[in-house]
């Protein structure tokens, strides 16, 4: 069994590509069911965030596994393979394990130390497990990956002053508005990201006025009560644009809920002052063509991410500490994995040595039959003890001398080495 990853992220593709491969939570169970129907795939987890889509799988053949996962993406999203294949990265075995641990620990995030990814990895794993899409290998891997993320955050300062999409949205607004007083903000969506965004704006802009709208009025009211703001009916969202400086969308809608055609009706009322549209959704909820209108400025998740200060020298030491933690926990996985494969192999080798023992006794049958029962029992015990000793020596030397990635192939070779050739 092999572990592999097929993915796309902010480093390999922009939002135009990533949104086409996105898996909303609502479709994950069906997607996992379809993926696990492929012969090579024995278990899977799908992680879909605003900055990455990654498919983790346990497969019985690496090359076939890669091919099947790409075929699955093509089928599920109904888009030509050539339109996305060049943006994919593929990793297997040790590289895949380290990649997952780095993702869960935020070392692969655009903002190193950001805190959302650990929860996103956990949620992706729980959805897959509840959908019966995982197996023992993936269960162990993701449990350790989640543990790795927790340990990195608790034992290093890598998360100190870290930012998220919500805090980046605030920074974007600070750059665009010289005057921060009495900003009016229309928040479309009432989920976790909207909640964090509202709280960040309230902390940074003491006099901001937030209005929440959502398809579910009840959900909007819950958020509004929590952050002490007003709500409007979702159907009135366009009418509210003229009265708001900032319009932020964060929903799970599969397409645009802010279209240029609708905004054009308001063009005369929007010319008096700038309006910033911030789209925190994947797929995008705000038509980027609105950006072509006077005094309208649209920013996608990729634009938001560019706000980040890429000077991370102050975190270099913390990253090094995090890498040590990840290496230690990954070693725990390799030890577990090697036992899953090597211990059964050692039992097979012991069985082969039992056959060799019987072959030897039959070769010395003339001598063996002259022994009494006590002597025969002694000879059998001596040969069995010799076999056990060889197994222990093999196990000890394998762990000391073999690299993790070579352990399995060496064990397989040993099994063939101890196989009895009956025609000799």
Q: Which of 50, 208, 229, 296 is catalytic?
A: 50
Q: In sequence order, what DSSP letters do the residues of 15-82 get, joined into one string? A: HHHHGGG---HHHHHHHHHHHTTSTTEEEEEEEE-SSEEEEEEEES-HHHHHHHHHHHHHHHHT--GG
The four Cα atoms 260, 266, 271, 273 give a dihedral, to 10 degrees, of -90
Residues 55, 5 contacting (CB under 8 angstroms): yes
Q: Which residue is associated with the tokens 């990654």?
A: 54
Return d(Cα 144, Cα 277) in angstroms, integer: 39
Q: If you ran DSSP here, which 8-state letter would residue 286 be given?
A: B
How far is CA 272 from each of CA 180, 238, 269, 296, 307, rounded to the nearest angstrom? 17, 17, 7, 11, 27
N- to C-terminal Cα separation, the chain: 33
Residue 334, SS3 per DSSP:
helix
Catalytic (active site) residue 50: yes
- Residue whose structure tokens are 């009016």: 184
For 224-259, b/e burial (b = at least 16 CB within 10 A) is beebebebbebeebeebbeebbbbbbbbebeebbbe
Output DSSP code: residue 231: E
Contact 335, 132 (CB under 8 A): no
Active site members: 50
């Amino acid at each position: 069994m092999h572990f592999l990853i097929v993915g796309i992220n902010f480093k390999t593709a922009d939002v135009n590509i990533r949104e086409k491969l996105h898996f909303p939570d609502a479709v994950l169970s069906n997607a996992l069911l379809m993926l696990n129907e492929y012969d090579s795939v024995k278990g899977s987890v799908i992680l879909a965030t605003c900055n990455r889509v990654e498919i983790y799988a346990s497969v019985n053949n690496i090359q076939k596994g890669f091919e099947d996962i790409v075929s699955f993406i093509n089928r599920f999203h109904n888009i030509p393979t050539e339109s996305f294949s060049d943006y994919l990265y593929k990793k297997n075995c040790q590289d895949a394990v380290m990649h997952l641990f780095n993702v869960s620990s935020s070392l692969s995030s655009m903002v190193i130390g950001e805190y959302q990814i650990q929860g996103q990895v956990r949620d992706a794993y729980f959805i897959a497990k509840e959908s019966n899409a995982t197996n023992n290998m993936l269960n162990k891997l993701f449990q350790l990956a989640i543990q790795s993320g927790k340990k990195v955050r608790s034992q290093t300062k890598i998360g100190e002053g870290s930012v998220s999409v919500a805090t980046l949205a605030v920074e974007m607004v600070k750059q665009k508005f010289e005057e921060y007083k009495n900003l009016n903000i229309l928040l479309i969506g009432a989920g976790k990201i909207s909640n964090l965004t509202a709280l960040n704006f309230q902390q940074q802009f003491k006099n901001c006025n937030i209005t929440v709208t959502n398809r579910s009025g009840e959900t909007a009211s819950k958020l509004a009560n929590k952050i002490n703001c007003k709500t409007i009916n979702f159907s009135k969202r366009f009418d509210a644009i003229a009265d708001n400086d900032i319009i932020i969308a964060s929903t799970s809608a599969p397409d645009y809920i802010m279209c240029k055609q609708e905004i054009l009706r308001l063009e005369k009322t929007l010319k008096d002052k700038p309006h910033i549209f911030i789209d925190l959704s994947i797929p995008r909820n705000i038509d980027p063509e609105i950006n072509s209108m006077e005094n309208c400025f649209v920013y996608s998740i990729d634009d938001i991410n560019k706000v980040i200060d890429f000077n991370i020298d102050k975190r270099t030491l913390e990253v090094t500490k995090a890498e040590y933690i990840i290496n230690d926990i990954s070693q725990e996985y390799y030890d577990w994995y090697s036992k899953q494969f090597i211990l059964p192999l050692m039992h097979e080798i012991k069985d082969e040595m039992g056959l060799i023992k019987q072959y030897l006794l039959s070769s010395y049958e003339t001598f063996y039959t002259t022994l009494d029962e006590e002597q025969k029992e002694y000879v059998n015990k001596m040969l069995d003890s010799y076999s056990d000793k060889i197994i222990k020596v093999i196990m000890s030397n394998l762990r000391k001398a073999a690299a993790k990635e070579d352990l399995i192939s060496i064990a397989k070779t040993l099994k063939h080495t101890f196989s009895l050739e009956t025609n000799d």
